[in-house]
Structure 1
Amino acid sequence: MENIRDKTAIVGIGQTEFSRNCGRTELQMALEAILAAVEDAGLKVEDIDGMVNYTLDSAEQVEIVRALGIPNLSFFSKIPYGGGASCGTIAHAVAAVASGMANTVVCVRSIRDASGPVTYGDFEPNRVAGDTYMGMYHPYGLLTPVAWVAMFAQRYIHQYGVNDGQLGWVSLVNRENANRNPNAMFYDRPLSMEEYLASPINVAPLRRHDCCLSTDGAIAVIVTSAERAKHLKHRPAYISGAIQGMSTNGEVMTSYYRDDIAFLPEVEAYGNLLFKMAGVTPKDIDVAQFYDAFSPLVPMQLEALGFVGRGEGVAYCEGGHRIRPDGELPINTSGGLMSEGYLHGMNLITEGVRQIRGTSTTQIADAEHVLVTGGLGVPTSGLILRRR
């Protein structure tokens, strides 16, 4: 597993604005993000010979290739499972470059989650019949991600005696970081604990401010070899580890039949391999970009990845001191999915790159190892970036 360590690097990042109504197609935004990433890297469109995106993308790879005039793709793949795909796109790119199947791979996600058509809760006969778990839950009103995750959160709160308001510290720290980030959707919107507690319940126990933002936008990330990266525009973000995780008895956000639904076994499994691959331990991580679609998922990841013991994640976050920029483990320094924008986790990767480059709006001094995580409650993924 160690043979890919630091053999590849992220050399280009690009994005559109994050908004509630982009006014254009997902294909158009994907093209804009890729062109921005190519320029950022100091490359040309003709250099791209690999592409990875999501099965959920409406911006098809053949359309992107045609629109940009890419001569040929020798490698192309798609990753399923929404947010769980984010670091998985990088893992596929690493595999392609390290194996010689491609030299320069672009990973892209374009989404109109705010202004596009609603997809959750559709009672499509083929989906309910084909996906056993959806057929079990949809007819009874369990229709949306917030409802699905609320089940895990309710059990976690009961099992570990979490008090009302304790989960709010993740939301508050994310917002503080977003307030320093002009590209964040909540750049000019501070959040107090009083406002958090007064916000309406979406699905108990999750309040409005425990949830990520519906967002329109696109992000592209370019991966190439470590040798080539040395000669491009920016400090490379070397990829020390990139991996995916899928555990037994899992479903897509409704894995309620495991022995313990207050824990994330696929995160524990990929974390053990990821740290071994990168040759580091949790203590070596200088800053973490945790997938924060919902606030309970951050303490649960702290536990599954070995930063703290089981049931200790909420206490670790309480008060915000340990997870702020000057704390033991700064998190989500651009505002995360809850306060910067929700692009199925791709903006966590670009923020990880900025930390390595030293260009974040909440820069952690001398950040050498950056952890990025993928979506929870689904088959997932993780990434460790390194500065050298």
Structure 2
Amino acid sequence: MSGLSGATAIVGIGATEFSKESGRSELQLACEAVTAAIADAGLKPSDVDGLVTFTAESSSEIHVARNVGIGDFSFFSRVGYGGGAACGTIAHAAAAIHAGLADVVVCWRSFNERSGERYGLGQASRPMDTNADRAAYSWMTPYGLSTPAQWVGMFAQRYMHEYGATSEDFGRISVIDRARAATNPKAHFFGRPITLEEHQASRWIAEPLHLLDCCQETDGGQALVLVSAERAKDLPNTPAYVLGAAQGAADDQHMMTSYYRPSISGIPEMGLVGDQLWRQSGLRPTDMGAAILYDHFTPFVLTQLEELGYCGRGEAADYILDGHLELDGSLPLNTHGGQLGEAYLHGMNGIAEAVRLVRGTSVNQPRTVENVVVTAGTGVPTSGVIVGVA
């Protein structure tokens, strides 16, 4: 186990409502979520001395601090690569606290991703610029590979070819997520489960991806508060200790278009993250009581199960069919409904759900959960965390 494991804990979570049109600025969403998380932790804004968010975040740390009433703060950091940053914010916060750079750190993400800038539109509608990522995309867009769904569709098609997976195998992830969302009053799809037949009947977005293989676009904000393990003992909520926190970018990594590797049917950057998590925590995949896996597109959930060591290459479809991801299975999945069912907050709402699972307050609490593994965005440089009771 590493010295970082168990040294810090998530003690506060806060969020706005999740909607398709928030009717307010991204800064206001950020401030609402941060204020709620600080209150949930039993702390005051003036206790906060560190802030971590995404490079994609539109609200600056100084404006959030000013509007929330934080005052002076001594640490701030941003993590890149879109949804791949989610668990990276926790890694940065935990490292800062462990190193003595801050005592109370808030991680947050807010956006009007439905009513404002829609990430799903991809590159074609964006103004030209001269950065290296846009130059790399220029090799893809002339061939119709412009949107996230189209990029992931390439991986999914190859995975199906190599391992015999089917669209129904992907659809079972969507069915599971929507079943969880159906019983979560905060989820956009509350009360609206789906069947596998409905998944198969949904329209194509980028073959082999159906509409119901693709996550939502959401307006909202989510924040989390971290402190040292020692300080966490004096706060009102059950601490969710950070037992592992890692980032990873694998060889020949691209932004959701890593087509030049010898094999494109895996996501080795997630394997790199998983290896670090198991080593840091001293835990194994079978020690997890639940998993919150990044589900912006269903095929990548299968490959994550394989990269994290829950099954062998190409075996995820059978692993799912065997019932492991059900609430009474060995690895209950996305108990909040995931980004397919609850909301797409770049994965930050998934970390909040992991905290609820450790607290025992999830609306779909499967049983007493001691450890939860959480992953961030796939197809990009990514991150992961393990939170647990001690």
1:278 aligns with 2:303: no
**Partner residue of 2:336 out of 334, 358, 361:** 334
| 1:351 counterpart residue number | 353
State the alpha-carbon separation in 2 of the partners of residues 355 and 112 from structure 1: 27
In the TM superposition, what are the counterparts of 1:87-126 in structure 2 within 5 Å? 87-118=87-118, 120-121=122-123, 122-126=125-129
Q: How does 1:164-313 map to 2 (within 5 A)?
A: 164-313=167-316
CA contact (8 A) 1:128 1:134 kept: no
Q: Percent of counterpart pairs with the same letter? A: 48
Give the SS at the match of 1:2.
Answer: coil
Q: Does 1:153 align with 2:156?
A: yes
Task: Report how far residue 345 of structure 1 moved.
Answer: 0.3
2:5 corresponds in structure 1 to 5
Q: Which residue of 2 aligns with 1:78?
A: 78
Q: CA 1:154–1:99 in structure 2 vs 1: closer, same or farther (change >3 Å)?
A: same
Q: Is the 8 A contact 1:128 1:138 kept in 2?
A: no
Q: Give how far 1:112 is off.
A: 0.9
Q: Distance in 2 between matches of 1:127 and 1:363?
A: 48
Taking structure 2 as the reference length, the TM-score comes to 0.97
Q: Is the 8 A contact 1:8 1:98 kept in 2?
A: yes
Counterpart-to-counterpart distance in 2, 1:315 and 1:133:
36
SS at match of 1:224: strand
CA distance in 1, matches of 2:354, 2:333: 10
Match of 1:385 among 362, 372, 387: 387
Question: Which amino acid letter does the alignment assign opposite residue 53 of structure 1?
Answer: T
Q: Structure 2 regions of 5+ residues with no counterpart?
A: none
Superposed CA deviations along residues 24-46 of structure 1, whole A, max 9, x for unmatched, are 00000000001100110000000
Local SS of the residue matching 2:176: helix
The reply on whether 1:51 has 2:54 as its aligned counterpart is no
| CA drift at 1:200 | 0.5
In 1, the alpha carbon distance for the partners of 2:128 and 2:25 equals 28
How big is the shift at 1:139? 3.1
Cα drift, residue 59 of structure 1: 1.1
Deviations 1:159-206 (A, max 9, x none): 101134121111101111111100000012120111111100110000
When the two structures are aligned, how many residues end up with a matched partner?
387
Aligned amino acid, residue 24 of structure 1: R
Shift of 1:130: 5.6
Paired position in structure 2 for 1:19: 19
How many Å apart are 1:98 and its aligned residue?
0.3
Q: Which amino acid aligns with 2:213?
A: D
TM-score by length of 1: 0.97
The 3 A distance-change label for structure 1 pair 26 and 329 is same
Q: C-alpha deviations, 1:301-320, integer Å up to 9, x for none? A: 0100111000001121126x
> Structure 1 residues 10-19 or 111-120, which shifts more?
111-120
1:325 matched to which residue of 2? 327
Q: Which residue of 1 aligns with 2:364?
A: 362
| Equivalent position SS for 2:238 | coil
Amino acid at match of 1:6: G
User: How far apart are residue 252 of structure 1 and its match?
Assistant: 0.8
Question: CA deviation digits over 1:324-354, x for unaligned, max 9?
Answer: 1101111100000100010000011000000
Q: Is the CA contact (8 Å cut-off) linking 2:296 and 2:340 kept in structure 1?
A: yes
Quick one: which amino acid aligns to residue 22 of structure 1? S
- Give the counterpart letter for 1:69 in structure 2: G
Residue 39 of structure 1 aligns with an amino acid whose one-letter code is A
Contact map agreement 1:175 1:191 (CA 8 A) in 2: yes
**For residues 369 and 203 of structure 1, what CA distance do their matches in structure 2 show?**
36
2:138 counterpart of 1:135? yes
Q: Secondary structure at the match of 1:217?
A: strand
Q: Distance in 2 between matches of 1:279 and 1:90?
A: 19
- For the residue of structure 2 that corresponds to 1:166, the secondary structure is helix
The amino acid that maps onto 2:84 is G
Amino acid at match of 1:115: S
1:99-145 per-position Cα deviation (integer Å, ceiling 9, x unaligned): 00000000000011110034532343324766332111123331111
Residue in 2 aligned with 1:315? Answer: 318
More deviation, 258-267/122-131: 122-131
Take 1:36 and 1:19, find their aligned partners in 2: how far apart are those partners? 17
How many angstroms apart in 2 are the aligned matches of 1:73 and 1:148? 40
1:30 maps to amino acid: A
Partners of 1:113 and 1:144 in 2: CA distance: 15
Aligned to 2:165: 162
Which amino acid counterpart does residue 368 of structure 2 have in structure 1? D
Q: Secondary structure at the match of 1:191?
A: coil
Residue identity in the other structure for 1:138: T
2-side partners of 1:146 and 1:158: how far apart? Answer: 18
Q: What RMSD in Å do the two structures reach over aligned CA positions? A: 1.2
For 1:70-102, what per-residue CA distance to the aligned partner results, in whole angstroms no more than 9, with x for missing partners?
Answer: 221110011110110000000000010000000
